[in-house]
Structure 1
Amino acid sequence: MQTQSLWEHTLTFFPQFLATLRERVAPDATVAVIGASDGRLVLPLAAAGYRVVAIERDALALHGGNVRLPGDSEAHATGLIDRLKLEELHARVQVIEEDFLEGGPLDVPCEAVWTSCSWHYSANHHRPLAEFVDRMQRLVRPGGVFGAEFMMPVERRHHLVEHYTSPERLRHHFPGDWDVLLTLRTNEFTERPHVGQLHDHTHRMGLLLAARSSASTHRL
């Protein structure tokens, strides 16, 4: 990519999700990305040939603006919409600028859905984690794929918030017509400073990939 995301160098399980897409859905399938941010994972999906529905409510992530960087400096960040134009990928991506939890039913059934560390943000704690997961599941057509990477508890305060979860707890949200394909977790690791977190900090991450039964009844 000619333009870099603000999150370019943060750890991700996205390669595992992309490999699962290649195994299970058509090359031009539609993939919804919840919490699309500035397109760190949207642009690679579009470049790989998928049609993408990018759902994001943060105006700076979508339209760009000035951000504070580690070292107490500022820079202009390019937003998702301009990055798509610069990479000539805008025709493959539908951008929906709204709160995923507050909007009405999303009429965008997809072959796959993905989110990267979005539900642990405090702005999403006003609704139960089960609601976030359920809304994602409802977007997936029968035979489709669900993918989420998420923050696991590290500090004591995290254990009081269900949105910092684990693969084992998350499994309980996938009964019946769902088949959990893969779960992974990291040990605690130190991440270098980045936008929004200007000092070294400790994370622990998990991954869950699931497939919806091809015989299931779609619920929108």
Structure 2
Amino acid sequence: MGEQQTQSLWDHTLTFFPQFLAAVEERAASGATIANRGASDGGFVVPLAAVGYRVIAVERDPLALHGGSVHLPGDENAHTTGLIDRLKLQALHDRVQFVEEDFLQAEPLGVLCDAVWTSCSWHNSANRHSPLAEFVTRTQEMVRPGGLFGAEFMMPVTQRHYLIEHYTSPEKLRRHLIGDWDVLLTLRTNEFTERAYVGQLRDHTHRMGLLLAAHTPSSSLYQEKKDS
């Protein structure tokens, strides 16, 4: 058994999260509520909580939440610290609410969030049984008027990927934003080689995209809802 892994297993992977965080800091109040759908072991939850946001972590994987043995590149095994214990070690546990359920099967949160972030989740094979539109719609429904929707996602590389709708693009994804949404930013990478990680034990080629949007219902409709 190797050493204990206390950092996120995804710390070295490419992410557009800094762009999302900058948009949140510009638009949301201090102490805002941010949901991370597909929170994994907390690569985004921990930094959000550390700067003072209230975080709702939606994750169904017991290993990601509670830790356990993982097989690492280089044919090594390690015990990884789960998100819950990582938060406790940094005295951030009280800032995070956990939803330990399948996102598409869980009951509504009962609160609208100031921003929602999801990273490379819907393209995973375990989630491809549900249409991409369902993932996007359920995520949209978590965002309050004036709030932010942020998603980074895998774009197609091989011919096989082009046949799977979950490998999408910023242009295709924005078509799923039903209702009053203002797309603030789209980004994409060229093909790049990413180092091996848990679940993908060899170096591999990716393309990634980002879409940031703001929920901007018409002022009259929004006022009617507030008054009702």
> What's the TM-score once normalised by structure 1's chain length?
0.95
Q: Out of 182, 192, 206, which is 2:185 matched to?
A: 182
The letter of the residue matching 2:27 is R
**Partner of 1:64 in structure 2?**
67
Runs of 5+ in structure 1 lacking a partner?
none
Q: Secondary structure of 1:199's partner?
A: coil
Larger Rg: 2
The letter of the residue matching 2:18 is P
Task: Give the Å deviation of 1:156.
Answer: 1.3
Number of aligned pairs? 217
The letter of the residue matching 1:27 is S
Contact (CA 8 Å) 2:6, 2:80: kept in 1 or not? no
**Partner of 2:35 in structure 1?**
32
**Partner of 2:26 in structure 1?**
23
Contact (CA 8 Å) 2:137, 2:177: kept in 1 or not? no
Correspondences of 1:1-220 after superposition (within 5 Å): 3-213=6-216, 215=219
Q: Deviations over 1:127-166 (max 9, x none)?
A: 1100100000000000000000000001111111101000
Contact (CA 8 Å) 2:137, 2:178: kept in 1 or not? no
Moved over 6 A (4+): none
Identity %: 73
Q: Distance in 2 between matches of 1:79 and 1:174?
A: 33
Q: Secondary structure of 1:94's partner?
A: strand
Task: Give the Å deviation of 1:175.
Answer: 4.6
Q: Distance in 2 between matches of 1:176 and 1:78?
A: 40
Q: Distance in 2 between matches of 1:98 and 1:109?
A: 18
The letter of the residue matching 1:115 is T
- State the superposition RMSD in angstroms: 1.4
Contact (CA 8 Å) 1:27, 1:49: kept in 2 or not? yes
Q: Deviations over 1:45-67 (max 9, x none)?
A: 00011000000000000000000
Q: Distance in 1 between matches of 2:45 and 2:191?
A: 27
Contact (CA 8 Å) 1:33, 1:115: kept in 2 or not? yes
Task: Give the Å deviation of 1:102.
Answer: 1.7
> What's the TM-score once normalised by structure 2's chain length?
0.92
Q: Deviations over 1:187-206 (max 9, x none)?
A: 00000111111001000000
Q: Distance in 1 between matches of 2:151 and 2:21?
A: 12
The letter of the residue matching 1:197 is Q
